[in-house]
Structure 1
């Protein structure tokens, strides 16, 4: 089993948390979308959307995060003797889909200073153009990604787009807060795949330094978040890269790569 992912990717974090929680071995391949590595021809031929994560088991390839999580559950069930009772129930699946419906793209990008965001965006567009020239057979797919990059920049200029994303997040967190008033975890009193999908959302808010506004202002979520950070899976998948000085190291390494490639015009 192979997983193409990166620590910055929320959906990648969800899949890695599920793999760690279920004790499943896999081969890890880091693909950094901020440096345009997801546009390299070898990866792009497998997944023209360029999105992460991608989970591969032999000839079976999955791109949809919820589908990957359910596939991991089935693998774990088979490994433990085919106990289907361990698969997520209706309530867990409902929460998984509810959390997954929130798209963090515009919310995240709007919190990054314009000069940094535009600098990275220009770099990625140049990477796409370079790959397009190298691989004419993939030109149409690369052109679609290029149009999407320009479209993203245009949408970020529309305050209504950002407001809708913020509103969706607030409604989601309010629902989570109400649920955690009744149960210790998102879909009951035991850790489930619903928690796997929620944890990276909270981690993203902390990464953006918005925990006071969105987490600490909700006492049930604040207590839940403190508890989730103690799990070994969290420490390995997220804490390793984003707690303390490691967060700066991870971001600085990416920034230096982009800056050097831009100076050398090597895309």
Structure 2
């Protein structure tokens, strides 16, 4: 089925774009319809649920999310959308295979970062900005006056301050990391040839790739990233000794931003060093892993054997493309 939007390329390395089928009381797998009528009751540990029955065509709105399950920022936004029960059309854009460098996508977002959230002509790039928009949207639809609290916002900004890039790349086997980096650089060079008018902007991304490799050679950069992460986790451990979730007794947008960090640590097999040694965070992580939003956004890709399936698909895709020099 043809899909319209800023990006329409398909990606064989993942399970494909999702199309969401609205179902009463549950999130479906496809195109987004939502009702302006919201239930007033708040379910335990959650938010007011936004209904799915549209009264007429004027009540319909379309949200599009360009993301990938590997992207931590994408996970943050998807958790927020799932928790708020807002339907959207999902487009997979795999940065490991250079799909975020495709000309049509790059013209819209020269940073090439994920996710991108689109509501009609309104496009938002940063995860924290998208999540704040989702919160405001939910409040508007429910008709309640319940903006993000200062405590939630404080946690969101604290989480946003830690960049996972160096930490993640430093814990990936060098051979694999360099293979992907080399492939993506070749993709960028190929796109420069396709779109000469964007050559200078593509060159910025190429330079960034080399600068990242240089930063990884300095152990001090990794040490700094690890210290910042440990400080964030220590603060969370202290908070979770008082409350069930980061900002109180209910799951909030702060948790939507924090949970993907724990998932990234688990994906890198570093739970013992960063999670298990903090009993409150360990209990918290076990709690959130039971939430439907976690199972849908993260669990289906990275729980148990699934993470090896997800990683192997991308590895095979990269090897085949490299073999035939298809960039």
Q: TM-score, normalised by structure 2?
A: 0.80
Counterpart of 1:15? 77
Q: Which runs of 5+ in 2 are unaligned?
A: 1-62
Please tell me whether residue 72 in structure 1 is matched to residue 134 in structure 2: yes
Distance in 2 of aligned mates of 1:164 and 1:213: 16
Counterpart of 1:84? 145
Distance in 1 of aligned mates of 2:104 and 2:74: 19
Counterpart of 2:86? 24
Highest Rg: 1 or 2?
A: 2
For residue 3 of structure 1, give the secondary structure of its aligned residue in structure 2: strand
Distance in 2 of aligned mates of 1:2 and 1:84: 26
Distance in 2 of aligned mates of 1:66 and 1:241: 23
Distance in 2 of aligned mates of 1:225 and 1:246: 18
For residue 113 of structure 2, give the secondary structure of its aligned residue in structure 1: coil
Stretches of 4+ aligned residues off by more than 6 angstroms: none
2:114 aligned residue (15, 32, 52): 52
Counterpart of 1:252? 312
For residue 8 of structure 1, give the secondary structure of its aligned residue in structure 2: coil
1:133 aligned residue (193, 203, 207): 193
The number of residues matched between the two structures is 265
Counterpart of 1:123? 183
Spell out, residue by residue over 1:37-91, the C-alpha distance to the aligned partner (whole angstroms, 9 max, x if none).
Answer: 000011101100000000010110001111100100111111112x121x21000
The structure showing larger relative contact order (alpha-carbon pairs under 8 Å, at least 6 residues apart) is 1
Q: Which runs of 5+ in 1 are unaligned?
A: none
Please tell me whether residue 110 in structure 1 is matched to residue 159 in structure 2: no
Distance in 2 of aligned mates of 1:245 and 1:74: 37
Distance in 2 of aligned mates of 1:225 and 1:193: 15
Counterpart of 2:4? none
CA drift at 1:100:
1.2
Spell out, residue by residue over 1:201-258, the C-alpha distance to the aligned partner (whole angstroms, 9 max, x if none).
Answer: 0000000000111001000000000000000000000000000111111000001111
| Structure with greater helix percent | 1
Distance in 2 of aligned mates of 1:228 and 1:200: 11
How does 1:129-168 map onto structure 2 within 5 Å? 129-168=189-228
For residue 4 of structure 1, give the secondary structure of its aligned residue in structure 2: strand
Counterpart of 1:186? 246
Counterpart of 1:208? 268
Distance in 2 of aligned mates of 1:250 and 1:190: 31
For residue 24 of structure 1, give the secondary structure of its aligned residue in structure 2: coil
Distance in 2 of aligned mates of 1:137 and 1:84: 47
Distance in 1 of aligned mates of 2:117 and 2:89: 10
Aligned residues: CA RMSD: 0.6
